[in-house]
Structure 1
Amino acid sequence: MNSLIDDIRNSQSTRQRKADQELRLDYFQDNQLENLWAILSQDFSNPEKLQPCFVNIVKKITNLRACVYVEEATRSVEGSEQDKELFAIIAEQAQLDNTLKTASKLTKLLKTCLIRVVYRNGRLDLDLLPSHLVDVWVGDSPRDIESVLVTHPPLDGREENTTYSHWTATEWQRLDYRGRVIESGPNPYKCLPFVSLWDSTPLNDFWLPGGDDLVALQEAINSKLVDLLHTLRFQAFAVGWIKGGEGGGSIQADPGSFVELPEGGELGFAHPQAAISEAIEAIDMLLKWAAVSNGLPASSLSTEPTDESGISKLVSNSELSEMRRDDIALFRQYEKQLFHLIRIVWNAHNSKRLSDSATISVDFADPKPDTSDTDKANAWKSLMELGVIGPVDIVMERNPDITTREEALEYLMQVKIENDKLVDGVL
């Protein structure tokens, strides 16, 4: 196994891929200062005199584009009552909704990431694996995954304490920093416990390209913001000048003081004329380019206040809506693959099992634009007259915390009791 680790470390393309992905993740998580200082050090001889500043457009655009789970999806298990109860427990313990929502963001950001289904401490969990922590070997196609190597960075930051997990369909191994086997055993699942998430269908490489433009725009905007602050700081101060002196000297003149000048001498102040408005316009244009090139309206990165919600922007933007439909088609398959792996891993460690015949269906929410209460009431009335919805549906739409039809019906019964008391003059 030494050769496996050595091949990874000696591969220039692998090192570059992981560095690019780690940088992208740092930008998303607001860890931009270190790289900003590095950029400033290349352009300025005294970068410590500059005021660093950045606006995180990587996170903003990624969050706007990752709109599969803009509202929680509804999952229905088709199987026995035990299957439904077990999956509900598993989904809650593994924080399935939050995990998949974060996974959709990582997929937009990194273009490729993985979810590992793992059973630890008596419960099933889902590990999100960004691509800089994973190496994958494939067969005839990117989907034909033969083995997966996961890097486990040390908590103390010492590289020699790094460990690895190597998985094939038949065995797993825990390796130390040098690739020596610490622990090994047969793979109890008889398959790789990973779900691969791609931002689009892979063609000839497991690791999807793309996203470099957003990083480049982020760095350009950061640099211009630093330039703007530096210009604003020194634009606020006038530069004093003396005409008719001997040269080479300076005069300290406080308010109320008198200065003796030679005959014909003059004293004054010059105000620099920096192109501040041009710099602001350039930053604004970069922001708009970043939005439009990623399928978003330019107004999504506007500094002008607006009452339009994120859902309204999604519904009103045809390009973004089409992008969401494509993403839903991908994540519908990912959810089915994940359910299949959850069953395998869960059943390998528990006597109370998910049945082999159980399946899952996912209903992704259909976002609706913001409407007034009057418009909603009129729409509900029309739909009730058509017989396509009932009071229970309206209650569940008005109150997202009511998640079952039984709860909604109980709420309606309570409202009826209270209304009856009001009519009878009890309350």
Structure 2
Amino acid sequence: MSLTPTLSPGASRAAPASAARDAASVHSRRITSIDALRGLVMVIMMLDHVRETLYLHLQVSDPMALPGTSPEVFFSRLAAHFCAPVFVFLTGLGAWLYANPPTGTPRPVRGFLLKRGLLLIALELTLVNFAWSGTYQVLYLQVMWAIGFSMIVLALLSGLPRALLAALGLVIVCGHNALAGIVVAPDSAWYAPWTLMLHRGWLVAEGALRVRLTYPALPWVGVILLGYAFAPLFSARFDAPARRRVLVATGLACLAALLLLRGFNLYGENLPWVPGSSGVQTAMSWLNFTKYPPSLDFLLLTLGVGLLVLAALERVDNAATRALSIFGGAPMFYYLLHLYVLLLGYKLLFAVFGPNQGTRFGVDADAFWIVWVVWLGMVPLLYIPVSAFARFKRRSTQAWVRYF
């Protein structure tokens, strides 16, 4: 008599279904950690946007320019630095996961990325620009433009081997600093593409409608390619402990490279750090990285810490991480909503208190704590509508909902 267990026909059909449910459950836990990290950096991002709304009259240039920037402004801005790199990296990662669901056959990703990228650029030129100033006198090409362009490039390159995408991403992220010293004259035919890819500046400086680029796109293309190439780590082929080990090792390697490159002012940041009059001033100089375009050191810090946080979030499941995953699961809706809440709030404060700072409303230089209070108050305020939209997004079968 055989000791090998036999399965009934019903059990043989149930086993694959059970395996599929288990794979989907593991996939869901991984997606929750990704959404929680995305939500975390987006909530932190709002702190910087509150600062720009209430404090811009005192900080009209780079809020990390030294000397002259107070520590509270500097470190609030530094915290917000983590949003764009982590978000773009996770965008690439999420694109691969969309194309390779845990169950079923792979899905074509090119069309989805093309449509989403074009949508982001269209929203940048319309709803986002209006939300920042309430006018269209100047069109700013900011982070939405950079993400949209990066998604379009990823769509066109997505069919290449993953190793080639990873190599291309590394070359762009690590190598673009070598081109930082090249200046193209405004009257050159290369000025517009050079500005779009690597330098901030005016694309249209005069006329009824001016256009200024603040987010050069090329380094962000490198980041999204790295995210896409990194994404198979989140497939079912990797168990959670192995994935966390890779995340931690990669994050620590990024920070170690940063300590070496920045510590000796070797490469990766065009502005060398110098000792300050105090430990805080020295730390501010050391951490004063270039964001436009993002320097290699900037990306080593933000992505290195981001990978370590992502590894930690896989082991945490509580009310805070679930709330953050709500924000991260409906990023476009949250982004547009918080900008318009800030715009309406600013208009209301201006109407009530008047232009108490020159021609605009703003808090006093010694009252930066108000920025933190407003930011903390907005988090639960926005959670209610974002949570409602996230529930609608999960239930809805309408195609447009996927893009928000």
Task: Please indicate the TM-score interval, normalised by the length of the shorter structure.
Answer: under 0.3
| Greater relative CO (CA pairs within 8 A, separation 6+) | 2
Normalised by the size of structure 1, how large is the TM-score? Answer: 0.21
Query: Which is strand-richer, 1 or 2?
Result: 1
Normalised by the size of structure 2, how large is the TM-score? Answer: 0.22
Higher CA-based Rg: 1
